[in-house]
Chain A
Amino acid sequence: MNWAETARSAFESLRERRARSGLTVLGLLIGIAAVILTVGLGEGAQARVSSAISSLGPNLLTITPGSTTTGLVRGGLGTAGDLTLADAQALSSRSDAPDIAHVAPVIQTGATLTSGSSNWSAPVMGTTPVFTTVRNRQVVVGTNLTAAELASQAHVAVLGSEVSQELFGFASPVGQVMDIDGVPFNVVGELNTAGASGASNEDNLVLIPISTALDLFSKPGPYAGSLSEIFVSATSSSTIGAAYEEANDLLLQLHSITIPSAADFTITPASTLLSTAATVSKALTTLLAGIAAIALLVGGIGVMNIMLVSVTERVKEIGLRKALGATPGLVLRQFLLEAAMLGVLGGVLGVLLGLVGAVVLPLLISQQIDVSLVAVVGSVVVAAGIGLVFGVYPAYRAARLSPIDALRSE
């Protein structure tokens, strides 16, 4: 009896027990589909976070006030919150910081926006025209802020797409007037849609000249005129390290800080965000895949259970086959093949269900699912393997049955 003949016999025997075989396959296919979907979900999330972060601007460094934490000791508290326009000016120096291409200082405040009967709240960022360059954004309607508007403290604003839609619907916002905390501004432009990156929504913001922001919104007190953050772009992706060093040295010098660990500012390269996000989503993927693997294990135990029942139920058939000349090896082979077939069937159907789920689920939960070829091929192989592994013990029991006992059982 060769493999093909054994396979035929195994298949017929599974077909004879359709309902039971079907339910066993169902248990496995749910496990397989779960693996494919959870791994896909994890990879989708990872891809989305990565693309969102890299859309921030590939060569971006973000400088925020507040000290870095070294061990448990934070730098001087009193020195936090004092990034100034002078700092931004110094960073723009071609000679002191040759690897820094652009510097965009930002003063950010939350504000209420009103236009006619519509109102909305969004972060308002006072900045300079290079903000769009540094942050890899485009003005798609109207114009960017200009140097002239900066000089004249003009009341002009460029809107993020979400703000524009909330206040003006789908009409062009350019030329419209809106109030920011009660002060009228002319809308001159609208930014491209960027999507969310991590926690911040890059489409819900308003850009105004930084001079105007300092004039209108800067709170009086010791931190008057201090910046929320400074965005810096390096001249190229290969000079990010040099740009980081230059910015760090320059700011330490300006702030008269001699111990680098006591710095009152933090410089974060975009790549750091990227690797942090990657670590988080990797952990998530691992967790999900672990849960799915347990589902798969349960499916495998189902295979074993059903094969044991099958051996018990078919004692007479096994005895007869042995009396007719089946060797223990052939009996073992047939039962292993039956288990492996359940596995492969569960694997293939599970992949199909997973693929359908990968198309349908994103429509329901707005989560991207990236089905990877590795997960697909891997799960079919694993499913067949599970069938084999969990089929070994029942098949061994069948092969060891004594033909006399088997034939005698009534």
Chain B
Amino acid sequence: MSSIGHPRHQSGLALEEMPGPMLELREVTKTYGMGEVEVHALRGINLVVREGEYVAIMGQSGSGKSTLMHILGCLDVPSTGTYLLEGRDVSVLNEIELAEVRNRRIGFVFQQFHLLPRLSAWRNVELPLLYAGRRPRSARRERAMAALGAVGLADRVEHRPTELSGGQQQRVAIARALASNPAIVLADEPTGNLASDQADEILAIFEAMHNQGRTVVLITHEPDVGERAKRLVRIKDGLVVSDGPVRP
């Protein structure tokens, strides 16, 4: 896999040179109020992810991992507590500022791929660049081509999602996440809809991304997937129950 953008650092640093926090959650809670019934999805999460880390967040459905993912992705804001992304408190941002953070700092990979069916592969990858206001179109195309090349789809750029296999579609989605060169890639059950050989391909791409120094946070409920990361955070009932490196 060739490099995309400029990786922030080379991996293999000594512990004493540990990089600063990429994202930091301090006592983050999220409560969904539904009249008299209140649902406490997150009940005080403390989490620090450093630059270049490859973290898997694991939990059963209902554990709060989806809510956590939404907050990490700036799709939602915490009820209480602070979320610092690259040192900046994003829990106080308004909708427009959040949109900009999502556009420039975060790359999303979803379980359902979420590709627009009428657009070809490269035009799907182009979308975040469009919202970033990158011009002209040829520059966006060039960038999208590079991203697709990096996930091994250089020969599929004009194909529509329906003409691609599930694994290929997810690779297009990964190219889209990488296109704007985000600080962090957030993947929500990226292999949930894939056969195991295709899932392996996708996980290999995440691993390569990590090796190039990109910060990757992967959310899953499958232990095999979680164990492919370098660090495993388990959550249950809205709280972190364990956090530590994955033993190879």
Q: Which residues of A contact B (CB under 8 A)?
A: 1-2, 5, 12-13, 16, 316-317, 319-330, 402-404, 407, 410
Asked whether, in the complex, the Cβ of A325 is within 8 Å of the Cβ of B70, the reply is no
Asked whether, in the complex, the Cβ of A325 is within 8 Å of the Cβ of B118, the reply is no
Nearest-Cβ distance from residue A14 to partner chain B, whole angstroms: 11
Asked whether, in the complex, the Cβ of A324 is within 8 Å of the Cβ of B133, the reply is no
Nearest-Cβ distance from residue A277 to partner chain B, whole angstroms: 57
Task: Collect the chain A residues with CB atoms within 8 Å of residue B102's CB.
Answer: 322-325
Q: Which of B104, B110, B114, B119 contacts A325 (CB 8 A)?
A: B104
Instruction: List 17 additional contacts besides A328-B99, A330-B131; criterion CB under 8 Å.
Output: A1-B130, A5-B130, A322-B99, A323-B75, A323-B102, A323-B108, A323-B114, A324-B103, A324-B108, A324-B127, A325-B100, A325-B103, A325-B132, A325-B180, A327-B131, A407-B110, A410-B112
Closest to B67 in A: A404
Also in contact, A16 and B118, with CB within 8 A (given A325-B100, A328-B96)? yes
Task: Collect the chain B residues with CB atoms within 8 Å of residue A316's CB.
Answer: 114
Closest to A9 in B: B130
A321→B102 CA distance, assembly (Å) = 10
Task: Collect the chain A residues with CB atoms within 8 Å of residue B222's CB.
Answer: none
- B161 contacts partner chain A, Cβ-Cβ < 8 Å: no
Asked whether, in the complex, the Cβ of B131 is within 8 Å of the Cβ of A325, the reply is yes
Question: Which residues of chain B (34-88) have a CB below 8 Å from chain A?
Answer: 70, 73, 75-76
A-B contact pairs, 14 of them (CB 8 A): A12-B118, A317-B116, A319-B114, A322-B75, A322-B102, A323-B73, A323-B114, A324-B108, A325-B102, A325-B128, A325-B180, A328-B95, A404-B75, A404-B76
Nearest-Cβ distance from residue B32 to partner chain A, whole angstroms: 11
A323→B99 CA distance, assembly (Å) = 7
Asked whether, in the complex, the Cβ of B95 is within 8 Å of the Cβ of A327, the reply is yes
Nearest-Cβ distance from residue A387 to partner chain B, whole angstroms: 22
Task: Collect the chain A residues with CB atoms within 8 Å of residue B100's CB.
Answer: 325, 327
Count residues of chain B with CB under 8 A from any CB of chain A: 27
Asked whether, in the complex, the Cβ of A1 is within 8 Å of the Cβ of B118, the reply is no
Which residue, A320, A325, A327, has most C-beta atoms of chain B within 10 A?
A325
Asked whether, in the complex, the Cβ of A1 is within 8 Å of the Cβ of B133, the reply is yes
Closest to B69 in A: A404
Q: Which residues of B contact A (CB under 8 A)?
A: 70, 73, 75-76, 95-96, 99-100, 102-104, 108, 110, 112, 114, 116, 118-119, 127-128, 130-133, 135, 176, 180
Asked whether, in the complex, the Cβ of A329 is within 8 Å of the Cβ of B110, the reply is no
A12→B102 CA distance, assembly (Å) = 25
Closest to A327 in B: B99
A319→B73 CA distance, assembly (Å) = 13
Task: Collect the chain A residues with CB atoms within 8 Å of residue B180's CB.
Answer: 325
Which residue, A2, A320, A323, A327, has most C-beta atoms of chain B within 10 A?
A323
A357→B238 CA distance, assembly (Å) = 69
A1→B132 CA distance, assembly (Å) = 7
A317→B116 CA distance, assembly (Å) = 7
Where chain A touches its partner, the secondary structure class is helix
A327→B132 CA distance, assembly (Å) = 11
Asked whether, in the complex, the Cβ of B114 is within 8 Å of the Cβ of A320, the reply is yes
Task: Collect the chain B residues with CB atoms within 8 Å of residue A321's CB.
Answer: 127, 131
A5→B131 CA distance, assembly (Å) = 10
Q: Which of A317, A324, A402, A407 contacts B131 (CB 8 A)?
A: A324
Also in contact, A329 and B96, with CB within 8 A (given A2-B133, A16-B118, A320-B114)? yes
Nearest-Cβ distance from residue A34 to partner chain B, whole angstroms: 34
Task: Collect the chain B residues with CB atoms within 8 Å of residue A319's CB.
Answer: 114
Asked whether, in the complex, the Cβ of A326 is within 8 Å of the Cβ of B99, the reply is yes
Q: Which of B73, B104, B119, B131 contacts A326 (CB 8 A)?
A: B131
Nearest-Cβ distance from residue B106 to partner chain A, whole angstroms: 9
A324→B179 CA distance, assembly (Å) = 11
A12→B123 CA distance, assembly (Å) = 12
A1→B135 CA distance, assembly (Å) = 9
A293→B131 CA distance, assembly (Å) = 39
Closest to B103 in A: A325
Task: Collect the chain B residues with CB atoms within 8 Å of residue A323's CB.
Answer: 73, 75, 102, 108, 114
Nearest-Cβ distance from residue B94 to partner chain A, whole angstroms: 10
Asked whether, in the complex, the Cβ of B95 is within 8 Å of the Cβ of A324, the reply is no
Task: Collect the chain A residues with CB atoms within 8 Å of residue B103's CB.
Answer: 324-325
A13→B132 CA distance, assembly (Å) = 21
Which residue, A2, A16, A321, A324, has most C-beta atoms of chain B within 10 A?
A324
Nearest-Cβ distance from residue A313 to partner chain B, whole angstroms: 12
A233→B119 CA distance, assembly (Å) = 77
Asked whether, in the complex, the Cβ of B114 is within 8 Å of the Cβ of A407, the reply is yes
Closest to A13 in B: B118
A101→B131 CA distance, assembly (Å) = 81
Nearest-Cβ distance from residue B124 to partner chain A, whole angstroms: 10
A319→B76 CA distance, assembly (Å) = 12
A327→B112 CA distance, assembly (Å) = 22
Q: Closest 10 A-B residue pairs measured CB to CB?
A: A325-B103, A325-B131, A327-B99, A320-B114, A324-B128, A16-B118, A327-B96, A403-B75, A1-B130, A324-B127
A24→B116 CA distance, assembly (Å) = 24
Closest to A331 in B: B99
Nearest-Cβ distance from residue A327 to partner chain B, whole angstroms: 4
Task: Collect the chain A residues with CB atoms within 8 Å of residue B104's CB.
Answer: 325
Nearest-Cβ distance from residue A7 to partner chain B, whole angstroms: 12
Nearest-Cβ distance from residue B93 to partner chain A, whole angstroms: 12
Task: Collect the chain A residues with CB atoms within 8 Å of residue B76's CB.
Answer: 402, 404
Nearest-Cβ distance from residue A211 to partner chain B, whole angstroms: 89
Which residue, B95, B128, B176, B180, has most C-beta atoms of chain A within 10 A?
B95
A16→B118 CA distance, assembly (Å) = 7
Task: Collect the chain B residues with CB atoms within 8 Å of residue A320's CB.
Answer: 114, 116
A317→B113 CA distance, assembly (Å) = 12
A12→B75 CA distance, assembly (Å) = 27
A393→B96 CA distance, assembly (Å) = 20
